[in-house]
A = this chain, B = another copy of it.
Amino acid sequence: MLAIRGWADPKVVARYAHHWVALGQAGRVLRLARAEHCREAVFIGTVLRPPLTRIRLDWQMIRMMPRVVGFFRGGDDRLLSGVASSFEDSGLRIIGVKDVAPEIVVPEGVLARYEPSPRDRADVARALKVIAALGPFDVGQAVVVADDHVLAVEAAEGTDNLLARIAELRVQGRVTTAVGVGVLVKAPKPGQDQRFDLPAIGSRTIENVARAGLAGLAVAAGNTIVAEPAQVIAAADREKIFVVGVREASTG
């Protein structure tokens, strides 16, 4: 494991054979990969667009810079794809989580005890359309729709902030749909490089969906990671929240 200092959790990293690297040390990454006989790598987790001051450039990275700077001005997805193609030119193939751990990818269908109602299904379909419409803008992995009304669109804030906002807007009187109506939908951006930053859910997501007063959660089947399925299902049943994997084909 090559752990990025300041982003990776030291408690998790300690459980694996690892080296620490700083963001921007592309040469060090390639040297360590060669020394450890790695030819393929998987990106795990997410790197928020970093402040430039936290980046430590080494010579390899400086050679890559003209390409990476171009990507840096776009969305996160272009940035990661750009960094990946730079690594691949240097002989380290970047593969997806799906390729190595298909068992943590959400399948199609209802995952826990509760089922979406026809109204929930209609809200899910509308949310998928919003995500599709935002595809060209490298934004919007998550959308909340309640009774056909779009309540929130995720951009830089992340899903936990998005769900906390719904709860706050209820208090402010700006969201007035009944508790138990509405869905959170998470899907990769259309055209997203699926080796990076796939949507992920966990028990905390379920708890936040419940706190936001929504009926449930739909995620893109085959393109969403759920690290601990048993805990997620237990949380959904406890909170009376449905969780469903939906085909992204319904995006179209």
Closest to A149 in B: B75
Closest to A138 in B: B150
Pair A48/B130 contact, Cβ less than 8 Å: no
Interface band, chain A: 35 or more
Contact of A74 among B149, B169, B173, B176 (CB under 8 A): B149
Q: For window 134-186 of chain A, which residues contact chain B by CB distance below 8 Å?
A: 134, 136-140, 144, 147-158, 161, 165, 169, 172-176
The 0/1 profile, CB within 8 Å of B marked 1, for residues 47-87 of chain A is 01111000000000000000000000111000000000000
Residues of B with C-beta under 8 A to A49: 149, 176
Closest to A127 in B: B137
Pair A73/B150 contact, Cβ less than 8 Å: no
The 0/1 profile, CB within 8 Å of B marked 1, for residues 37-49 of chain A is 0000000000011
- Give chain B nearest CB distance to A228 CB in angstroms: 24
Q: Is A195 close to B, CB under 8 A?
A: no
Q: For window 174-227 of chain A, which residues contact chain B by CB distance below 8 Å?
A: 174-176
How far apart are the CA atoms of A183 and B165 in the complex, in Å?
Answer: 22
Tell me the dominant secondary structure on chain A's binding face: loop
Residues of B with C-beta under 8 A to A153: 134, 139-140, 153-155
Pair A136/B133 contact, Cβ less than 8 Å: yes
Residues of B with C-beta under 8 A to A176: 48-51
Q: Is A129 close to B, CB under 8 A?
A: yes
Pair B155/A48 contact, Cβ less than 8 Å: no
How far apart are the CA atoms of A139 and B144 in the complex, in Å?
Answer: 12
- Give chain B nearest CB distance to A124 CB in angstroms: 14
Pair B147/A73 contact, Cβ less than 8 Å: yes
Contact of A158 among B150, B154, B161, B174 (CB under 8 A): B174
- Give chain B nearest CB distance to A250 CB in angstroms: 16
Residues of B with C-beta under 8 A to A151: 155-156
Q: List 23 A-B contacts (CB under 8 A).
A: A49-B149, A49-B176, A50-B176, A51-B176, A73-B147, A74-B149, A126-B137, A130-B134, A130-B137, A133-B133, A133-B134, A133-B137, A134-B134, A138-B150, A139-B150, A139-B153, A151-B155, A152-B156, A153-B153, A156-B175, A157-B165, A161-B165, A165-B165
Across the A-B interface, give the 10 residue pairs with the lowest CB-CB distance, nearest first. Answer: A139-B150, A153-B153, A51-B176, A151-B156, A133-B133, A152-B155, A137-B150, A73-B148, A150-B155, A153-B155
Extra inter-chain contacts (17) besides given A150-B156, A152-B155, CB under 8 Å:
A48-B174, A49-B149, A50-B176, A51-B173, A73-B149, A75-B149, A75-B150, A130-B139, A139-B150, A139-B153, A144-B155, A149-B156, A151-B155, A153-B153, A153-B154, A156-B169, A161-B169
